[in-house]
Structure 1
Amino acid sequence: MPQSQVILDKLLEKIRFKSLTYMNFHSCHYIRKLPDLKKTTPNIKELNLCGCKNLMEVHESIGQLDKLEKWDLTDCIELQILPSCLTMKSLKHLSLYRCIKVEKFPNMPQEMEGLKYLNLCGTAIKVLPPSFANLIGLHQLFLGSDFYLGHLPGSIYKLQHLCEIYLYVKFPKDVEIGRQVLCNSYGGFSNNGFRSLNVLFLCFSKNGLEIDFILNSWCPLSLKCLFIRSEDYTLPKSIIRFNKLHSLDIRDCHFIQEIPKLPKCIEKVDASNCFSLNSQSLSKLFLQV
C-alpha cells in the first residue's frame, strides 16, 4: 500500500476532526481507497477528490454524511466502487464526470430534495435505479457517454424541477436505433415531459428522428435554449412552436441544409461549421435574426 494511503488511514483512525468542513484531495494520485469518514469528519461539507486517478473505492459510510453539500469525483478514472446507498440530506452537487469505470449508480431509498446538480457524463452507468426519481429537487442533469446508450427509469418524470438536461449519446455509424427502442430505453416518454425545462443539449452522432422525438416529448413550449450536435439532423418546421426560444446552437451539424422559420423571440443562432447550408436558407436566416 502506498505510503500516502497509510498516512491518511492512520491519521483519520487516530484523530477526530469534528470541526472540519472542507477536505481537498485534488490530484492525490496515491489514494486508492477513501476510508470511513463518518466517524472522523461527520461535519464535512465539501469533499474534493477530483483527479484522484488511482482511487478505486469509496467507503460505504460516505453515502451517509448528512452535512456533505458538494462531492466532486471528476476524473477518478480507476474508481469502481461507490456506496451502495446515498442518504445525504444536504448534498447539492455530485459529479462523477469521466469516472469511466463506474458502472452502477447508488440506490436512494429516501427523497433527496437538496441535490440540484448531477453529472454522470463519461461513466459506464447504463441503467439508473428506479429510486432515481427520489432526486425530486434536481435542476441540472448530465447523462451519457461516447460508448453506450443509457437507460432511464420511467419514474424520471417525477423530476419536474429539472430545468437543464445535457444528453450525450453517440451511436456507432453502422447501427440503426429505432424510435421505439429509444422510447423503451429512456423509460417511456410522455406528452407531459419536463415542464420546467429551459435548456436542452443533445449530442447524437446520428438518428435525427430520435432527436425530434425527444423535442416533441420532453420539451415544453417555454424552452429557451436548444443545443444540438448531430451528423444527420435536419431542423423540423415545428421548431417555431417554441415561442420562448431565444438561443439556437446547431454548430457542427455538417449535413443540415436548411433552417426553417424560427420563433420571433430568437436572439442568437450559432450555425458555424454547418457546411451544407444553402445560400437561400442563409438569406432567410439573416432576415429573421
Structure 2
Amino acid sequence: MMIKYFSLNIFIFIFFPCGYFLQDFKNLKFLNFSECLSMVHMPNLDFCPNLEELNLSWCKNLERAHESVAYHAKLRRLNLRDCSNLHHLPDILQPKNLEWLDLSDCSKLQRFPDISDKMKCLRGLSLGGTSIEELPATIENLVSLKYLSLFGCEKLANVPSSIYKLPNLESLWLYGCSKLIKFPKEEEDSSDLRSKTGFPKLEQLVLSRCNLQEVDFLENHSCFPSLKELDLSENNFAKLPPCGHLHNLLQLDVSECQQLQEIGEVSSLLLQMKARNCESLSKTPSDILSINQLFRDSVRRELIVAKFD
C-alpha cells in the first residue's frame, strides 16, 4: 500500500535514530505531527523525498529543525507555528519549491536564515511573535513573496534596505515591533533596475505600535506606487511628510501619534484618514477641507477624515 498522508497529531512521539521512523515513507506527501508534545528533534526529511507538506505546529518541545529542510526539493508548505522552544534553523535556506513558511510564535527563535539563492516559489512568510532581531540582507532573494508578517516581533531593531527589492510583495506587517526606531530608505543602485521602483506591488504597509522617530522613507517618489493602506498609528514621529505622490493611497492612520505636529499634503483620492488622540497636531494640509469632511471632538484630540460620495 502506498501511503501519501500520515498524521500523528496529539501523539506522544518517541525519538528514533536518524531517519529510522520514516525510512519506509518514500512516497509520503503529507505529514502531520502537530501537537506532538514529546517531539524534540525534527525527523530527517531525506527519507521522505516526495514530501510536500509538513505540519509541526504546537510541538512545544521541538528545539531544532533538521538540516534536510533547508534543501528539500519537493516541500511546499512547512508549518512550525507555536513551537515555543524552537531556537535553531539551518544557517541557509534554499528549498526550491517551498510556498509557505509559518514560524509565528516561535518565541525563542532569534535568527532567520540567509537566503543564498533566489527562491521563486515562496509566497507567504510569517515570523510574528519570534525573537528575531534583524532580517538578513538576502531577504531580497524571496522574489515571489507576497505576504510577510513580523507581527509583534518586539526585539526586531533592523530591517535591511534590500527589502525594497521584493518585486511581488503585497502586504507587509510590522505591527508591535517596539524596538524598530527607523524604517529604512531605499538605497539607490544604478546597476539594479528594480531599485528604481521600491515595493512596486505593495498595497498594505502596517507599522503600527513601533517606535518610529521619523517616517522620511515616504519622501521617495519612486517607491510605493501601489500602496492603498498605510498604518503608522502609535508612533513617535513629529512630522508626516507630503504623501500626495501616493496616488493609490485610500486609507491612512496616524492615530495615537502624540508627538505628531504636522501632516503634509495627502492625495485627493484618499478615502479615510484617522488621527485620533494626536494631541500635538497643529498643522494639516490647507486643502484638506475641500477634498474631505473634517471632524474634531470637543477636546480637539480627534481628527477623522472621510470622503463621502
Q: Does the residue aligned with 2:140 lie in a helix, a strand or coil?
A: helix
The offset of 1:263, in angstroms, is: 2.6
The answer to whether structure 1 residue 28 and structure 2 residue 31 are counterparts is: no
1:230 maps to amino acid: E
Query: Which residue, 44, 59, 72 being the options, matches 1:65?
Result: 72
The answer for the alignment partner of 1:113 in structure 2 is 120
- TM-score normalised by the chain length of structure 1: 0.78
Q: Which runs of 5+ in 2 are unaligned?
A: 1-10, 189-195, 283-288, 297-302
Determine if contact 1:170/1:203 at 8 Å carries over to the other structure: no
Distance across 1 between alignment mates of 2:250 and 2:85: 41
Determine if contact 2:218/2:241 at 8 Å carries over to the other structure: no
The answer for the alignment partner of 1:245 in structure 2 is 249
Q: Does the residue aligned with 1:61 lie in a helix, a strand or coil?
A: helix
The answer for the alignment partner of 2:218 in structure 1 is 215
Over residues 129-162 of structure 1, what are the superposed CA-to-partner deviations in whole Å (9 max), with x where a residue is unaligned?
Answer: 343322111122223721340342x543432222
The offset of 1:32, in angstroms, is: 0.9
The answer for the alignment partner of 2:295 in structure 1 is 282
2:295 maps to amino acid: L
In structure 2, relative to structure 1, the CA distance for the partners of 1:109 and 1:285 (3 Å cut) is closer
Query: Which residue, 222, 229, 232 being the options, matches 2:233?
Result: 229
* 1:1-289 paired onto structure 2 within 5 Å: 4-6=12-14, 12-13=20-21, 15-39=23-47, 41-143=48-150, 145-152=153-160, 154-168=161-175, 169-171=177-179, 182=182, 186=184, 189-190=187-188, 192-209=197-214, 212-217=215-220, 219-233=223-237, 236=240, 238-253=242-257, 262-270=266-274, 274=277, 276=279, 282=295, 285=304, 288-289=307-308
- TM-score normalised by the chain length of structure 2: 0.73
Residue correspondences, number = 271
Over residues 79-124 of structure 1, what are the superposed CA-to-partner deviations in whole Å (9 max), with x where a residue is unaligned?
Answer: 1111232221111111211212222222332221101111223322
Determine if contact 1:255/1:274 at 8 Å carries over to the other structure: no
Q: Does the residue aligned with 1:132 lie in a helix, a strand or coil?
A: helix
In structure 2, relative to structure 1, the CA distance for the partners of 1:274 and 1:257 (3 Å cut) is farther
Distance across 1 between alignment mates of 2:305 and 2:68: 57
What RMSD in Å do the two structures reach over aligned CA positions? 3.3
In structure 2, relative to structure 1, the CA distance for the partners of 1:187 and 1:131 (3 Å cut) is farther
Determine if contact 2:101/2:124 at 8 Å carries over to the other structure: yes
Over residues 226-245 of structure 1, what are the superposed CA-to-partner deviations in whole Å (9 max), with x where a residue is unaligned?
Answer: 11232434563613332211
Q: Pick the structure with more helix per residue.
A: 1
The offset of 1:72, in angstroms, is: 1.5
Q: Which runs of 5+ in 1 are unaligned?
A: none
1:34 maps to amino acid: M
Distance across 1 between alignment mates of 2:267 and 2:45: 52
Determine if contact 2:104/2:129 at 8 Å carries over to the other structure: yes
